[in-house]
């Protein structure tokens, strides 16, 4: 499994994981999720307690996710 911290406007917003099976999972960080002033990072990834799962990389992350990313790395995406 590969995992990356996702920052939105320089604030930790959540975690993006790629499973060994190739599925992508995004989940919001609890403090970010509970902050009413913190927006969803993307229309396709609305703030939710549930994990967002996809067999392909979410479009929002296409320009951010490198082909190879070391475990424990972080990345930053902004609109």
- Residue 78, pLDDT > 70, answer no
Residue 51 in domain? yes
- Domains contained in the chain, number: 1
Residue 40 in domain? yes
Residue 12 in domain? yes
- Report pLDDT digits (tens) over 14-58: 999 988 898 999 999 999 999 999 999 999 999 999 999 999 988
Residue 56 in domain? yes
Neighbours of 10 (CB within 10 A): 8
Confidence of residue 1 (pLDDT cuts 50, 70, 90): confident
Q: What range does the domain containing 50 cover? A: 2-65
Residue 77 in domain? no
pTM reported for the whole predicted model: 0.81
What is the per-residue pLDDT for 12? 93
Confidence of residue 60 (pLDDT cuts 50, 70, 90): confident
Residue 35 in domain? yes
């Amino acid at each position: 499994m590969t995992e990356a911290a996702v920052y939105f406007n320089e604030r930790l917003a959540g975690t993006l994981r790629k499973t060994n099976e190739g599925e992508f999972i995004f989940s919001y960080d609890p403090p970010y999720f509970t902050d009413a002033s913190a927006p969803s990072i993307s229309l396709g990834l609305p703030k939710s307690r549930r994990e967002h799962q996809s067999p392909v990389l979410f479009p929002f992350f296409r320009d951010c996710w490198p082909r190879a990313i070391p475990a424990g790395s972080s990345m930053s995406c902004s609109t």
